[in-house]
Amino acid sequence: NEGALWGGRFAGGPADALAALSKSTHFDWRLARYDIAGSRAHARVLHRAGLLDDGELAGMLKALDELDADVASGAYQPAESDEDVHGSLERGLIERAGPALGGKLRAGRSRNDQVATLGRMFLRDHARLIARGVLDTVDALVAQAESHPEAAMPGRTHLQHAQPVLLSHHLLAHAWALLRDVQRLQDWDKRAAVSPYGSGALAGSSLGLDPEAVAADLGFDSAVHNSIDGTASRDVFAEFAWVAAIIGVDLSRISEEVILWATKEFSFVTLDDAFSTGSSIMPQKKNPDVAELARGKAGRLIGDLAGLLATLKGLPLAYNRDLQEDKEPVFDAADTLELLLPAVSGMIATLSFNTERMASLAPQGFALATDIAEWLVRQGVPFREAHELSGAAVRQAEGRGVELWDLTDEEYAAISPALTPAVRTVLSTEGSLASRSAQGGTAPSAVARQLDSLKAQLGEA
């Protein structure tokens, strides 16, 4: 069998059941072009070590280029009998370069260091794509914030009305979380940019090959300092899966709000037709499926991480075949986010906000009670007492079924002489918002400064 990379010590071939279990070409074929890039770099270090002469290097690189073109065009496909991408590509190389030359490439490398390196190459490329998609989502949030600079909404804790906030402030809260996710991907790349190539099966190579040269050739910053670590560790994969999962969670939290906001009861947003779906039976339905799928896929991303961690937790050093299970979760995480992010950013970019309704609800539900308490503090009342007095005003208003601004001067005076008519200066959404002007607050002036800071960090991301 040409696609097999072992067999010399065996009297017969593998059982069909083992071959079927062992096979990974149906998912690791995605690494084919990275494998060929690794082979080119490996051929060059073999040449530098005197293990390939000039003509052999040229012949090897030519055959690898042909193979690469055939893989890219689909003319070369893994055969049924190929165990994995590495074996299949050795078969393809030998078909093009002949066994005498093609059979030389495997010297000094193992599938163990290859697969660890190729996985990092794949994930580094996809991390960049995902970061772009997350940045597009941040851009959509920023654009919505900028087109609603003064719009107020009910700020919530425990999903209950808490204090009025600016819609832009709320949207930017999601933007900051997603910006940190982009920064996480960039920080992760420092650890992913270390190449395991040259680690061999586990103990390194005896052939005088230079791992740093391979690393540089493949776009890595450096090569691993420990060949066992290089072949056995997958924490870099798991960290990728973790960042993917937190991106999923962050998108899910935005989505949950969009789902709530699009209900009849909230009526805060209208979804664009292009980003909502209908019902097969109920003609009136307009469903927030993008947001629901985002919420659902967050569960899947968490599952990818949890599955990978479970695979890793009991493994002794160095390589174990369990590690073949490392690829599908991280591939799935990358695919999931690459599918999801354009839909979520498009949904956010096209949301239309019912700003009048949001603003009219912003101060309701006694959301200005904190403003009364803090106004009293500014009049010299201790906060403990101010909290009690404002609470008494809430009780009074609730009993009468009115809002705080509906209480009369006499009612306020009866609660406490400290509650003079001047308290009315803070009994408005505008007054409440404007007063929270320190860094990080929801005052229009503070949110404008926040937007500048966010954009500055976006410029660096």
- Residues annotated as catalytic (active site), given as ranges: 158, 279
Our finding on whether 324 is near ligand ARG (CB under 6 A) is yes
| Candidate residues 94, 97, 115, 241; the one interacting with ligand ARG per rule CB under 6 A | 115
Q: Binding pattern to ligand ARG, positions 357-396, x when CB under 6 A?
A: ----------------------------------------
By the 8 A CB rule, do 117 and 25 touch?
Answer: no
| Candidate residues 9, 264, 313, 321; the one interacting with ligand ARG per rule CB under 6 A | 321
Smallest gap from residue 152 Cβ to ligand ARG (A): 55
Tell me the pairing of strands 160-166 and 152-157: antiparallel
Q: Which is nearer to ligand ARG, 59 or 108 (CB)?
A: 108
Query: Residue length, the chain?
Result: 461
Our finding on whether 112 is near ligand ARG (CB under 6 A) is yes
For 312, other C-beta atoms within 10 Å of its C-beta total 19
Our finding on whether 84 is near ligand ARG (CB under 6 A) is yes
Q: Which is nearer to ligand ARG, 241 or 269 (CB)?
A: 241
Please give the Cα distance from 382 to 378 (Å, whole number). 9
Our finding on whether 311 is near ligand ARG (CB under 6 A) is no
Q: Which is nearer to ligand ARG, 201 or 377 (CB)?
A: 201
Of the listed pieces 61-69, 108-116, 245-253, 338-346, which binds ligand ARG according to CB under 6 A?
Answer: 108-116
Our finding on whether 9 is near ligand ARG (CB under 6 A) is no
Q: At what angle do helices 32-48 and 54-73 cross, to 10 degrees?
A: 180
β strands within 176-277, DSSP E: 194-195, 222-223, 269-270
Of the listed pieces 109-117, 164-172, 242-250, 427-435, which binds ligand ARG according to CB under 6 A?
Answer: 109-117
Our finding on whether 124 is near ligand ARG (CB under 6 A) is no
Site for ligand ARG in 249-288 (CB under 6 A): none
Our finding on whether 39 is near ligand ARG (CB under 6 A) is no
By the 8 A CB rule, do 205 and 109 touch?
Answer: yes
Paired with 157 in beta bridges are 160
Residue holding tokens 């496909």? 77
Q: Which is nearer to ligand ARG, 319 or 412 (CB)?
A: 319
Please give the Cα distance from 289 to 276 (Å, whole number). 6
> CA-based angle 429:431:436, to the nearest 5?
100
Our finding on whether 323 is near ligand ARG (CB under 6 A) is yes
Please give the Cα distance from 234 to 323 (Å, whole number). 8
Smallest gap from residue 300 Cβ to ligand ARG (A): 22
β strands within 340-389, DSSP E: 352-353
| The residue type at 345 | S
Of the listed pieces 110-118, 239-247, 267-275, 387-395, which binds ligand ARG according to CB under 6 A?
Answer: 110-118
Q: Look up residue 184 and give its two tokens.
A: 């996480």
- The DSSP string of 45-67 is HHHHTTSS-HHHHHHHHHHHHHH
Nearest to 203 by CA among 236, 232, 174: 232
Q: Which is nearer to ligand ARG, 84 or 189 (CB)?
A: 84
Which residues 6+ apart lie within 8 Å of 68 measured at CB?
Answer: 33, 36
Q: How many residues bind ligand ARG (CB under 6 A)?
A: 10
Our finding on whether 111 is near ligand ARG (CB under 6 A) is yes
Q: Which is nearer to ligand ARG, 144 or 311 (CB)?
A: 311
Smallest gap from residue 337 Cβ to ligand ARG (A): 22
For 423, other C-beta atoms within 10 Å of its C-beta total 23
Of the listed pieces 211-219, 292-300, 319-327, 422-430, which binds ligand ARG according to CB under 6 A?
Answer: 319-327
Our finding on whether 227 is near ligand ARG (CB under 6 A) is no
> CA-based angle 364:366:367, to the nearest 5?
75
**Positions that interact with ligand ARG (CB under 6 A):** 24, 28, 84, 111-112, 115, 319, 321, 323-324
